Structure formats: structure tokens, C-alpha cells
């Protein structure tokens, strides 16, 4: 029987993202079809570097916007970003295999570091499941005030952090309530408690525009180490504050210009 360390090493070796060009080409038209429901606007693409970078921002309800977001990055700069995916997905045979072929990688620092060292744009949602399964009161909040792992990752890899904001992504559904105990039962943790959602068209998502905006790169002073806790906390606060401000601004513009409630 393998030791826990050997099992962990097996995970590290097996679930590194290996996008399959043919599969990506086949899936892209299906993803782009979503823009009929969710017209997409992307700003700030000029802030994406030609080399590796860590992209961090707010996650939408159920993570529903992610395929369109990744596809538009590919369309804009010709690079398919790698996404740090929740580790729970890699417990599901078939799902995990599809993820790694479409650019998902096991959500660990080791996998993220491997992607950055290979020159990729790496997308990280520090809020994770807290934002995917958020309560209605947490719409458009960056729920990662204490999640500093992404900062250590960027410092270890020596790459800039690119903050991004998304608007419209928390207006796809209305959260009626959360099913208490479902997260513990299905995924082993209460943070995964499933939301019961409803939209203007019943269980289908509301047809709202999605807006994305990339900010300017943020970095710590040269020579800063990932083990420097004070520097990590300082950079984390700067990134979190910048991102939340971007989200607030973009959502304000979206509400004024694109919200279906305004049109009605």
C-alpha cells in the first residue's frame, strides 16, 4: 500500500494541466455560444504580459462565467490560461481528465508553480468555494481577506500579480437558500453547502452581460521572499484592496449601463 506521501506525489504528477489543442478547438464554439446569453466586454488586455503572470479576481456564482472568461483571454492574446481548480474536482473520474485537457490544474501551490515556470498565465480565484457558493449578501465581495497563498506563489515564481474584476457574474441567479449539510455530505466541508438558485427564467441563468477588466500588474519589491510574512501580508492587502475597488467600480458601471433591471 502506498504511503500518504506517495499518494500525494501521484496527484502532483498526474493532474498537471496538459491542454489538448484539438479538444480546445472543439469546445470553443460551444463556449462562445454562451455570449448569445451573456454578451462579453473585456478591458485592460494590454495589462497582460507576454510572459508568466498570476491573475487573481472575483469568482461568479457557481463559477458559471469561467469558460467564457478563459475563452476570451485566449481570443484576445492567443494564450489559453491555466486555471487552478478546486481539488474536489480531482476526486471525480472523467471530470478531472477533462479539466486537465482543457487547461485546469490541481489546486495546489506545486501545480501553480509548475504552470508559472512553464510560462503560462495562471488564473487563481482566492475566494474559491466561498465565492462560488456565496450567499446573496456576499455578491461581488472578494472573500479572500485571509487567503495569502496566492501571494506566496507569485513571490516564489517571481511573477507579477494581475488583478481582475468581473461584473454581471453574480446576477445570473438569485440564491434562495443554502442546503445545510450538503457540503459536508457531498464534498467533506461545510464551505461547499450547495445554494438553491432561481432566476427570472426558473432554473436557467439570467441573460445578463458579462464584463471583465484587467488591472495593472502588482509586485513586491525586488528580492522579497515568499517566507517574509510581513511583506506577504502587505502585498496581499494591496492586491485585495485594488481588486475589490476594481470590482466595485466595474459593477457600478455595469449597473448603470447594462443591468436588465435598469432597462426594465
Give the number of residues written for the chain: 264
Query: What's the domain range around 123?
Result: 4-172+207-263
Assess contact for 48 and 116: CB atoms under 8 A. no
Per-residue pLDDT, 263: 44
Q: Give how many domains the chain has, as a whole number.
A: 1
Residue 100: what pLDDT?
87
CATH of residue 239's domain is 3.40.1130.10
Instruction: Give how far the C-alpha of residue 224 lies from the chain's centroid of Cα atoms, to the nearest Å.
Output: 25
Domain presence at residue 188 = no
Does residue 200 lie in a domain region? no
pLDDT at position 183: 67
Query: Would you say residue 181 lies in a domain?
Result: no
Residue 32 included in any domain: yes
Residue 63 within a domain: yes
Confidence (pTM): 0.89
Which residue reads 513571490 in cell numbers?
Answer: 155
Q: What pLDDT was estimated at residue 4?
A: 55
Q: Quick check: is 195 in a domain?
A: no
What are φ and ψ of residue 196, in 5° steps? -90, 115
Cα 104 to chain center, whole Å?
A: 11
The tens-digit pLDDT sequence of the chain (264 residues) is 555 554 555 555 677 888 899 999 999 999 999 999 999 999 999 999 999 999 999 999 999 999 999 999 999 999 999 999 887 777 777 888 888 899 999 889 999 999 999 999 999 999 988 898 898 899 999 999 889 999 999 999 999 999 999 999 999 988 777 778 766 766 677 777 777 676 676 678 999 999 999 999 999 988 899 999 999 999 999 999 999 999 999 999 999 998 765 444
- Residue 97: per-residue pLDDT: 87
Q: Is residue 196 part of a domain?
A: no
For residue 70, what pLDDT is reported?
97
The residue among 57, 221, 218, 212 whose CA lies nearest residue 147 is 57
The pLDDT score that the predictor gives to residue 16 is 82
The whole-angstrom separation of Cα 244 and Cα 164 is 9
Whether 83 maps to a domain, the answer reads yes
Amino acid at each position: 500500500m502506498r504511503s500518504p506521501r506517495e499518494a500525494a506525489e501521484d496527484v502532483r504528477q498526474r493532474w498537471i494541466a496538459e491542454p489538448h489543442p484539438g479538444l480546445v478547438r472543439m469546445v470553443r464554439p460551444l463556449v462562445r455560444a454562451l455570449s448569445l446569453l451573456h454578451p462579453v466586454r473585456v478591458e485592460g488586455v494590454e495589462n497582460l504580459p507576454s510572459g508568466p503572470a498570476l491573475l487573481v479576481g472575483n469568482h461568479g456564482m457557481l463559477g458559471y462565467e469561467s469558460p467564457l472568461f478563459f475563452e476570451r483571454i485566449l481570443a484576445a492574446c492567443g494564450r489559453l490560461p491555466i486555471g487552478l481548480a478546486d481539488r474536489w474536482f480531482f476526486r471525480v473520474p472523467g471530470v478531472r481528465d477533462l479539466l486537465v485537457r482543457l487547461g485546469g490544474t490541481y489546486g495546489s501551490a506545486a501545480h501553480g508553480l509548475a504552470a508559472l515556470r512553464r510560462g503560462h498565465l495562471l488564473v487563481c480565484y482566492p475566494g474559491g468555494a466561498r465565492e462560488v457558493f456565496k450567499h446573496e449578501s456576499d455578491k461581488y465581495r472578494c472573500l479572500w481577506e485571509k487567503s495569502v497563498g496566492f501571494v506566496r506563489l507569485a513571490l516564489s515564481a517571481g511573477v507579477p500579480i494581475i488583478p481582475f474584476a468581473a461584473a454581471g457574474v453574480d446576477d445570473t441567479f438569485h440564491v434562495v437558500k443554502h442546503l445545510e449539510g450538503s457540503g459536508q455530505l457531498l464534498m467533506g466541508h461545510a464551505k461547499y453547502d450547495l445554494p438553491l438558485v432561481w432566476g427570472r427564467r426558473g432554473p436557467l441563468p439570467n441573460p445578463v452581460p458579462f464584463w471583465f477588466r484587467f488591472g495593472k500588474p502588482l509586485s513586491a519589491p525586488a528580492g522579497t521572499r515568499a517566507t517574509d510574512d510581513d511583506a506577504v501580508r502587505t502585498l496581499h492587502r494591496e492586491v485585495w484592496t485594488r481588486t475589490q475597488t476594481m470590482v466595485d467600480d466595474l459593477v457600478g458601471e455595469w449597473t448603470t449601463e447594462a443591468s436588465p433591471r435598469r432597462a426594465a
